[in-house]
């Protein structure tokens, strides 16, 4: 009799376990949707740069948390990330297209940058991977030893950017006006091309993320003279002055504060507007699990990629705060950033 009860208990337990598994699968059809599907992760720049590196790392681990799916990276460069952002925005809101672009497009939307066909407030925000400490780096063979030398330069300093409308382009022209500094912005240097231009001696300096420029600095081919954006503190930049230590006009301080705040929103990931709530929730959860995965964290350290993630609605609020500027800031930005 006891044996029969034990057997019955095993059978009942197995049935309950099976029922729980079936219920779990049935309770989340949005996760089940991704089985056998391909998710395209659009990167709005060329291969090899920081955005591409972050995207390929995140895509690999998001695939892990979208069981049965395949996440592929597709590079869609051009117009300072505008073409890629337009492509993401105009994609079908079915949960199969996500992507990344730089936060410099916040400036572009504020001033009505030509070619923008999106509204950043309407993207389905998934998350951001990092807060960016950004740096002003000069070539090792240039005569500039301090940022004071830069600000006192009488001749224009050629500064490469990935393209009109990109974050590096807009921040270069904004900081040129805010400091002020004699910068001549030269667009057309996407991915690692700006670093190669410094090595070739075509340009003396560049503004960009520490993540992207750390290799140049570590190889002693470049010197960091100033940092801005996040003040979280990077040991490798100890002794490099932060832009907040530079005395500027009240109007210049307002612009610098804006730049610092926008740079906190680094390495964004978004989906098109109008996403079904359930699928967006699945993507946000997969993104969060990816960014907190112990193996991803190890890989990020190996590739020298900083992590300071935020998710979903928090990122939505950060982006909205960047866009919603005071009338005075809007006027200054429209004067500084040219849209033609």
Q: Count structural domains, the chain.
A: 2
Please indicate, yes or no, if residue 112 is contained in any of the structural domains. yes
Please indicate, yes or no, if residue 271 is contained in any of the structural domains. yes
Percentage of the chain modeled with pLDDT above 70: 91
| 195 shares a domain with 150 | yes
Please indicate, yes or no, if residue 19 is contained in any of the structural domains. no
| 164 shares a domain with 114 | no
pLDDT band per the 50, 70, 90 thresholds, residue 23 = very low
Can you give the CATH number for the domain in which 150 is found? 3.40.190.10
**Which residues does residue 242 pair with via DSSP β-bridges, in sequence order?**
227
pLDDT digits over 225-284, tens only?
Answer: 999 987 776 888 999 999 999 999 999 999 999 999 888 898 999 999 999 999 999 999
How far apart CA 214 and CA 293 sit, in angstroms, is 24
| 127 shares a domain with 160 | no
SS3 category, 206: strand
Chain centroid to CA 8: 56
From 233, 262, 291, the end of a domain falls on 262
From 262, 283, 307, the end of a domain falls on 262
Can you give the CATH number for the domain in which 121 is found? 3.40.190.150
Please indicate, yes or no, if residue 5 is contained in any of the structural domains. no
| 275 within 8 A of 89, measured Cβ to Cβ | no
Whether this model's pTM surpasses 0.85: no
| 145 shares a domain with 235 | yes
| Beta pairing, strands 70-75 & 38-43 | parallel
Domain span at 235: 133-262
Q: Token pair for residue 3?
A: 């044996």
| 257 shares a domain with 176 | yes
CA distances from 195 to 118, 137, 146, 215, 252 (A): 30, 10, 19, 10, 28
Beta strand segments in the chain, E: 38-43, 70-75, 97-100, 124-130, 133-139, 157-161, 183-187, 205-209, 222-229, 266-271, 310-311
Please indicate, yes or no, if residue 210 is contained in any of the structural domains. yes
From 235, 262, 289, the end of a domain falls on 262
CA distance between the termini of the chain = 88
């Amino acid at each position: 009799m006891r044996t029969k009860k034990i057997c019955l208990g095993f059978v009942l337990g197995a049935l309950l376990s099976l029922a729980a598994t079936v219920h779990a699968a049935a309770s989340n059809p949005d996760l089940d949707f991704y089985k056998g599907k391909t998710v395209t992760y659009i990167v709005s720049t060329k291969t090899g740069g920081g955005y591409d590196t972050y995207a390929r790392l995140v895509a690999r681990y998001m695939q892990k948390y979208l069981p049965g799916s395949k996440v592929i990276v597709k590079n869609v460069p051009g117009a300072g990330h505008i073409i890629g952002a337009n492509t993401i925005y105009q994609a079908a809101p079915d949960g199969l297209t996500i992507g990344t672009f730089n936060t410099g497009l916040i400036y572009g939307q504020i001033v009505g940058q030509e070619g923008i066909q999106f509204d950043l407030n309407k993207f389905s925000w998934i998350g951001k991977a990092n807060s960016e400490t950004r740096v002003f780096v000069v070539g090792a063979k240039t005569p500039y030893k301090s940022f004071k030398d830069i600000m006192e330069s009488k001749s224009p300093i050629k500064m490469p950017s990935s393209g009109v409308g990109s974050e590096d382009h807009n921040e270069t022209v904004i900081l040129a006006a805010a400091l002020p500094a004699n910068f001549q912005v030269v667009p057309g240097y996407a991915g690692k091309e700006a670093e190669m231009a410094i090595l070739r001696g075509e340009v003396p300096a560049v503004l960009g993320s520490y993540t992207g420029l750390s290799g140049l600095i570590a190889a002693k081919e470049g010197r960091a003279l100033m940092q801005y954006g996040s003040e979280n503190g990077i040991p490798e930049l100890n002794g490099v002055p932060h832009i907040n230590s530079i005395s500027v006009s009240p109007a210049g301080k307002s612009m610098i504060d804006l730049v610092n705040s926008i740079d906190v929103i680094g390495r964004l990931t978004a989906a098109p507007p109008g996403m079904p709530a359930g699928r967006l929730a699945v993507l946000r959860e997969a993104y969060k699990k990816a960014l907190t995965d112990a193996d991803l964290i190890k890989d990020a350290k190996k590739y020298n990629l900083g992590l300071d993630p935020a998710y979903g609605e928090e990122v939505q609020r950060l982006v909205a705060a960047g866009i919603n500027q005071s009338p005075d800031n809007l006027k200054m930005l429209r004067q500084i950033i040219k849209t033609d």
